[in-house]
Structure 1
Amino acid sequence: MLLRLALSKAPSSCQLLAKSSKLNLSLVRNYARGPVRPPRNPVIVERAPVRSQPTLKEKLMGPPSANAFSLGKGAAAGAAAVGLGALCYYGIGMGKHTSIADNAIMWPQYVKERIQSTYAFFGGSCLLTAASAAAVFRSPRLLSLASRGGFVWTLASFALVIGSGAVTRSIQYEKGLGPKHLAWAVHCALLGAMIAPLCFLGGPILTRAALYTGGIAGGLSTIATCAPNDKFLYMGGPLAIGLGLVFASSLASMWLPPTTMLGAGLASMSLYGGLILFSGFLLYDTQLLVRRAEVYPEYAYAPFDPINASMSIYMDVLNIFIRIATIMGLNHRK
């Protein structure tokens, strides 16, 4: 049995012969083919370089995303919601402390006259600025001068406006026409010349921007009047810090256009951040105006100065108008 099993497992002679013949045939074929030589011009396959992650500088200087101004718009919408809530809260008399509207009942006549004259000069400042902007826009030579760009010209314009404002504030106020009224008119005219290029946006956009600015200024003034009379007087420090940030972003946006991610972020901070900032300044300056009108003595060496009191509110409203007009112009282009 074991022998048969071994014979059955062992290969037969025929099988061995077949295997040997196949092996010899494969050797002959390989010898006939000869050695395989490499081609004379080998094809080198280059691998595509693996792209690394962009650096922080490449991200900041790259093109902005489609929602580059979304953060600024969200902040402005949030500030508007807070302002509307404050208007409703203080408007229905839910504040626990006395407000400016409550104290107005006990004001003497000279306090009322001070506030009325201050807002009269504020209205006159707006009219002078609008008339100056329209006159400069109609003059090609003056318009080209006002539209001139460049770092040196921008600094010169800022120095001219700030210097005229400082001169106006330094002159003592006197009733009737005097040098202070002339300096005030020149200051307003210079500001109108600076914003004259905004007239390129068109009359409809500027009209809507003026209406929106009036609505915002009226709403904020109502909040300042209905709120406790010292509610917003503690905002001076944070507002000063915010003013520095907005001013720095406005200057930096001169070198970084909004076509880059960093430039778009700076432009958003200058536009929407400035809109929120000067709205806060309007609340602060309104209550500061009323406080000064109340505490300034009736009989003093120098009379109460309504021009200086109106200039702060005027600058707040003017900055709000410039930013609203710019935002509307950008949305109209899209």
Structure 2
Amino acid sequence: MDAAAAFFENRSTPWSYDSLKNFKTLSPNVQRHLQRVYLTVAGALLVSAIGVYAHILLGIGGLLTSLGFIGSSIWLANTSSSAAEEGKRLKLLAAAAFFEGASLGTLIQAVLSFDPSIVVTALLGSVAIFACFSGAAVLARRREFLFLGGLLTSAVSAMMILQFSSMLFGGASFMYMVEIYGGLLLFVGFLLFDTQIIIEKADRGDRDYVKHALDLFVDFAGVFVRILLILTRNAGEKERKEERRRAKST
């Protein structure tokens, strides 16, 4: 309750352009850590794009690449963050990013065959959302969004219950809408939450930039997939309406 009260109290703080330059709450070490995290995320996204391309060329995406992503992520999380293991952990992050890209390759290839501009729009939209919300978490007051952790966990549980209920009682169409729109809100929330968690951990000496980059990479991928699905669905509905209009006019 105290965190929630602090959040609403902070909403009354007036915004100014000077706040964009206010990094006084972040020590130089934390700022350098964030720079390493964001550069590593950018590298992971590049490797993920290579994974997508590999699937388009070789058709490697599927269950095995999904398991590869999960396995690489768990392996990375359970590997020591000491300097001696840094190279190994970067390779595990690259493997996880590659496998995730290959797994998403099936969806992306289908959308490319339908309308390539959708993929570009989804990517630009995801970058914009990532920059805006992660930047907002960096510039916000310390611990302002940490209260989201409990809310997000509860929302994930609620979505799992709804998904299970739809399997038993039907309503797959409604559940699909909940998954893509609710899932988008969830990943945006996790982006805010994870960014502030990273700041707090770094401030306390946890400079595991590889693991922190993996967390933000997963958030970015979740946002991208859902924007891609939303744009594809909207484009499909628009095309069907256009076809019905043409059919009526003939």
Is 1:307 equivalent to 2:210 in the alignment?
Answer: yes
Cα pair distance change 1:251/1:332, threshold 3 Å: farther
Corresponding position of 1:44: none
CA distance in 2 between partners of 1:251 and 1:325 (Å): 24
Counterpart residue number, 1:171: 79
- Bigger shift: residues 236-245 or 107-116: 107-116
| Whole-angstrom distance in 1 between the partners of 2:52 and 2:228 | 14
**2:250 equivalent to 1:322:** no
Distance 1:320 1:250, change over 3 A: farther
Identity of aligned residues (%): 23
Give CA deviations for 1:117-154 in whole Å, capped at 9, x if unaligned: 111111111111111111111214x25xx2xxxxxx5x
Match of 1:232 in 2: 145
Where structure 1 has 5 or more consecutive residues not aligned to the other structure, the ranges are 1-87, 147-152, 298-303
Match of 2:109 in 1: 199
Q: Residue in 2 aligned with 1:281?
A: 190
Between Structure 1 and Structure 2, which shows a larger proportion of helix residues? Answer: 2
Q: Distance in 2 between matches of 1:321 and 1:209?
A: 6
> Which runs of no fewer than 5 residues in structure 2 stay unpaired?
1-10, 238-250
Distance 2:40 2:149 in 1: 24
Amino acid at match of 1:231: E
Query: Residue 180 of structure 2 contacts residue 226 of structure 2 at CA under 8 Å; is this kept in 1?
Result: yes
Q: State the TM-score, normalizing by the size of structure 1.
A: 0.59
Tell me the equivalent position of 1:218: 131
Asked whether the equivalents of residues 65 and 100 of structure 2 are also in contact (C-alpha less than 8 Å), the reply is no
Aligned-pair distance for 1:92?
1.8
Q: In 2 relative to 1, CA 332–277 (structure 1 residues): closer, same or farther, beyond 3 Å? A: same
Separation (CA, whole Å) in 1 of partners of 2:93 and 2:109: 23
Q: AA paired with 2:232?
A: G
Report 1:135-146 matches (<5 A).
Answer: 135-140=54-59, 142-143=60-61, 146=62
2:92 is aligned, of 179, 183, 192, to 183
Aligned AA (2:129): I
Deviations 1:297-322 (A, max 9, x none): 7xxxxxx2101111111111110000
Shift of 1:192: 0.8
Q: Which residue of 1 aligns with 2:8?
A: none
2:46 to 127, 131, 136: 127
Instruction: Return closer, same or farther for 1:191/1:248 CA change in 2, 3 Å cut-off.
Output: farther
Q: TM-score, normalised by structure 2?
A: 0.77
- Contact 2:126 / 2:224 at 8 angstroms: preserved in 1? yes
Letter in 2 for 1:117: R
Contact 1:285 1:313 in 2 (8 A): yes
Q: Tell me, yes or no, if the aligned pair for 1:90 and 1:227 is still in contact at 8 Å.
A: no
Q: How many residues align?
A: 221
Note the alpha carbon deviations across 1:278-307, whole angstroms, 9 max, x for none: 11111111111111122217xxxxxx2101
Cα distance in 1 for partners of 2:25, 2:142 equals: 14
Task: Determine if contact 1:169/1:308 at 8 Å carries over to the other structure.
Answer: yes
Structure of greater Rg: 1
Counterpart in the other structure of 1:269? 178
1:143-188 CA-partner distances (Å, limit 9, x unpaired): 5xx2xxxxxx5xx765543222110111123278621122111111
Output the aligned Cα RMSD: 3.0
